[in-house]
Amino acid sequence: MNQLITKLQEHFEEMVIIRRYLHEYPEISHEEVQTPTYIAKFYRELGLEVREHVGGRGVVATLRGARPGKTVALRADFDGLAIQELNEVPYKSKNDGVMHACGHDGHTATLLVLAKALTEMHEHLVGSVVFIHQHAEEVAPGGAKAMIEDGCLEGVDVIFGTHLWAPTPLGEILVRDGAIMAAADRFEIIIQGKGGHGAEPQHSVDAIVVGAHFVTQLQTLISRRIAPLHSAVVTVGHFEAINPFNVIADTVKIQGTVRAFDEVVRQQIKQEIETLLKATCLGMHASYEFDYFDGYPPVINHVQETQYIQNIAGQIPTVEQVTVCPPFMIGEDFGYYMQHVPGTFFFTGAKNPAWETVYPHHHAKFDFDERAMLIAAQVLGAATWSFLTSENNGDVVL
């Protein structure tokens, strides 16, 4: 394991070069072409088994050790976001209106170089490592489910994944067993009123007023309909009525998101939203259309695998602190993988201590401390090596 840690340090410069190249040429979800081609070429040059177009645009590479044994899967996503980058850096995005604003370029570079280091130690490797490079994490239905259906987890015994996390200081690893990230759903509503002259409201049904009443009442759903011990969020992010100032609106369009960790709560919220919408429209003589789109499931970490990562991370010299974190309301489709095999997903701190301002993920000025990639690779690599060595020798992992 120490040899792997050293090899990764030696390859860190290459990791940075790869990350910056990918950052310059981001591609949005479900439209990735150059990125998966680049990834597949990298693995073929390493001599690994490579499958392209897995579940659409995904890439899966397999490294088989000198001796047979169990199999560890590692996953990295590679899609960018439809954001115009405002950073003035040498590796600024060259694709207009698209940037890596969430660190997926770093995830990809981390996994590629880790694969290279493990390949160089092939003679000592027991078992196999499957490198899953996933497309379309940012936009539901995402790439994970399709890649699983296309066989990316066949023969896999455990899966590990990480997210470079800019709000958390460099050197800190965040872990949590159970729910660490929420389910992320979306809803769309059309409220149909009756338009009219702004001076004669008695002859109209004002869709804006109906919509405003609904959105205001929606704020009580979590506080009065969901048990206090169950965390959930309902957010309206879009309220649209394109109308002249002196005309009563005929139609309003409302869009929002629902976040929850518990599946029962998730389904309850869906029902409660429509119940409230129906009652509001009925009482104010309007009609409605309601569409609810199930997004990603919650990310539920397995206990043993989480404890395993927690233990391994504490042994890595570049890791200064391992923290059991509270759950996050953000969504991630990594949860699909752990519906099929045991695993855990953790966060790798990527906040540069010298930066006065740290921009959040999905911001046009987002960036991260590239040294976090080395830490992520070392934790994932050590966990993989240790798991295969322990499991295939019949020893206890923990």
Look up residue 180 and give its two tokens.
């660490």
* Cβ atoms of residues 39 and 21 within 8 Å: no
User: SS in 3 state form for the chain?
Assistant: CHHHHHHHHHCHHHHHHHHHHHHHCCCECCCCCHHHHHHHHHHHHHCCEEEEEECCCEEEEEEECCEEEEEEEEEEECCEECCCCCCCCCCCCCCCCCECCCCHHHHHHHHHHHHHHHHHCHHHCEEEEEEEEECCCCCCCCCHHHHHHCCCCCCCCEEEEEEEEEEEECCEEEECCEEEECEEEEEEEEEECECEECCCHHHCECHHHHHHHHHHHHHHHHHHHCCCCCCEEEEEEEEECCCCCCEECCEEEEEEEEEECCHHHHHHHHHHHHHHHHHHHHHCCCEEEEEEEEEECCEEECHHHHHHHHHHHCCCCCCCEEEECCCECCCCHHHHHHHCCCEEEEEEEEECCCCCCCCCCCCCCCCCCCHHHHHHHHHHHHHHHHHHHHHHCCCCCC
From the candidates 77, 79, 105, 262, give the one annotated as an active-site residue.
Answer: 79
Cα dist. 19→103, 104, 191, 351, 353 in Å?
A: 9, 9, 46, 17, 20
Question: Is 85 a catalytic site residue?
Answer: no
Look up residue 240 and give its two tokens.
């649209």
| Closest among 269, 270, 287 to 278, alpha carbons compared | 287
Q: How many CA atoms lie within 13 A of 316 on its CB side?
A: 31
Q: From CA 312, how far away is CA 310, in angstroms rounded? A: 6
Question: Is 250 a catalytic site residue?
Answer: no
From the candidates 27, 77, 105, 137, give the one annotated as an active-site residue.
Answer: 137
Catalytic residues: 79, 137
